[in-house]
Amino acid sequence: MIEKKHRGFKYFLGHRSPTEILIFGFALFILFGAFLLMLPVSAQSGQATGFVNALFTSTSSVCVTGLVVVDTGTYWSVFGQAVICFLVEIGGLGFMSFATMFFVLAGKRITIKDRILIQSSVNMDSLSGIVRFVKYIFFSAIAIQAIGAILLSFVFVPDFGLTTGIGFSVFHSVTSFCNAGFDLMGDYKSLTGYVDNFMVNFVICTLIVLGGLGFAVTSDLIYVRKFRKMSMHSKVVLVSTGFLLIAGFVLFFIFEFNNPKTMGNLSWHGKFLASMFQSVTPRTAGCNTIDVAGLTKPSIFLTMLLMFVGASPGSTGGGVKTTTVAIVLMTVGSVLYGKKDVIAFKRTILGPLIRRAISILVIASGLVFFMIFVLLCTEPQASFDVVVFEVLSAFGTVGLTMGLTPHLSIAGKLAISLTMFIGRLGPLTIAYAISRSEKRARENVGTIKLPEGNIMIG
């Protein structure tokens, strides 16, 4: 009987597309996390947690978002916090690459089917070297997080004692690298207590940026080193990420310089660190060192735009991705300057890639618009900016909030959970659906005519 059931499940899996298995796996894993968080042992109070709040927290963890309906530091027990940390780590490194590692370690053979599965979860174009790549992801990610935790312990152990300090260091290193905005500081205050602490700002920003560049790019940074010799994808990611970080830093510095609610009372040193952190965190990290609701309106709007753009593909971050926006902007530039082709770093960007980038941008905008409509209906008390901010934060799996999350209605919690889920899987699955349909289109034509500049998007 069990044998038959097992065969039935195998049959079921064998007839699903990789995308379907990925979605199914994520959903199952979120439900599993929600189950663990509902247990009385997960809550500080020793009481069982309701399904909606547990589901919301689990979704937020697995989708590496960090939006919270209850305060992570005071509501959950150490066990509950460990569950969240575990869900974030698996969500961040990718459900499938984790599973593959498990197969590799257990000595199992990786089939072509498995490889396609992994490919669609890490968003790589070629099947060759995929297993090696996943191994690399896993070990380098663990190494980076370990270093981050050690550095953070120099601050957190003196502040919180040995056991709690080490726990805090590990937790914040994991959530930072995975671009999940959870924190254990209590009272929804995130890292505001460390606004002018150099070590905390430096370590956490570095972890966020490394996590958000994507594994292909960090690999190029570590092994290739010279910019000229890097892949075109890495070049585009590094230039656009650098531009966004610097522009964000300068604008936050200007907008918040005299704002007493945020950094008006800080020293120049503190203002510098705070602007840097606020420029880094909307790129889907989600923790904050100054109060988001206290930001000036231009800063709020800037944060919204940065959250929509998000991180780079194949990373732990969300959003429509830097490369998608870069390709669209390069296209506009080529049109304005009357160029026949879209050219970047001496490579032509072909029509299909451009159309793919536009599709991701348009579909993402459509989903965001739809969810804004839903939230405006389910949360009639919330003002417009708060709702737009919340939806962009959920869709980009950012985790920043102007304070709406804990006050959401049940319908609102479910809508935001769904938005996080679509935000995490959407771009991936859209990209997959597009690349599959494109392969079909390509087969219709025969061959591609020009050498293509290869950039991951979505």
**Interface contacts to K ion, rule CB under 5 A:** 65-66, 179-181, 284, 286, 398-399
449 binds a second copy per the rule CB under 8 A: no
Tell which one of 151, 300, 306, 456 touches a second copy (CB under 8 A).
Answer: 300
Q: Distances from the Cα of 187 to the Cαs of 98, 113, 391, in angstroms?
A: 33, 46, 22
Q: From the CB of 185, what's the least distance to a second copy, in Å? A: 28
* Amino acid at residue number 282: P
Host H or E run for residue 238:
helix 232-256
380 binds a second copy per the rule CB under 8 A: yes
Residue 399 interface partner, choices a second copy, K ion, none, CB cut-off 5-8 Å depending on type = K ion
Pick from 421, 302, 435: which is nearest to 360 by CA?
435
384 binds a second copy per the rule CB under 8 A: yes
Pick from 401, 424, 412: which is nearest to 373 by CA?
412
Q: Name the one range near a second copy by CB under 8 A: 37-45, 84-92, 225-233, 329-337.
A: 329-337
Host H or E run for residue 300:
helix 297-309
Give pairs for 229-235: CB < 8 Å, separation 24+: 231/454, 232/344, 232/345, 232/347, 232/453, 232/454, 232/455, 233/323, 233/454, 233/455, 233/456, 235/344, 235/345
Structure tokens at 24: 């199914």
Q: From the CB of 293, what's the least distance to a second copy, in Å? A: 13
CB atoms within 10 A of CB 112: 8
353 binds a second copy per the rule CB under 8 A: no
359 binds a second copy per the rule CB under 8 A: yes
232 binds a second copy per the rule CB under 8 A: no
Q: From the CB of 383, what's the least distance to a second copy, in Å? A: 7
Strand, coil or helix: 127: coil
- Which residue, 331 or 405, is less far from K ion as judged by CB? 405
- Which residue, 159 or 385, is less far from a second copy as judged by CB? 385
Residue 135 interface partner, choices K ion, a second copy, none, CB cut-off 5-8 Å depending on type = none
CA distance linking residue 423 with residue 419, whole number of Å: 6
Tell how strand 342-344 and strand 347-349 pair up.
antiparallel
Q: Rule CB under 8 A: which of 63-102 touch a second copy?
A: none
- Which residue, 94 or 286, is less far from K ion as judged by CB? 286
Residue 441 interface partner, choices K ion, a second copy, none, CB cut-off 5-8 Å depending on type = a second copy
- Which residue, 201 or 331, is less far from a second copy as judged by CB? 331
CB atoms within 10 A of CB 384: 9
Strand, coil or helix: 342: strand
437 binds a second copy per the rule CB under 8 A: yes
Q: Name the one range near a second copy by CB under 8 A: 24-32, 169-177, 194-202, 324-332.
A: 324-332
Interface with a second copy (CB under 8 A): 296-298, 300-302, 305, 328-329, 331-332, 334-340, 351, 354-356, 358-359, 362-363, 369, 372-373, 376-377, 380, 383-385, 387-388, 433-434, 436-441, 444-445
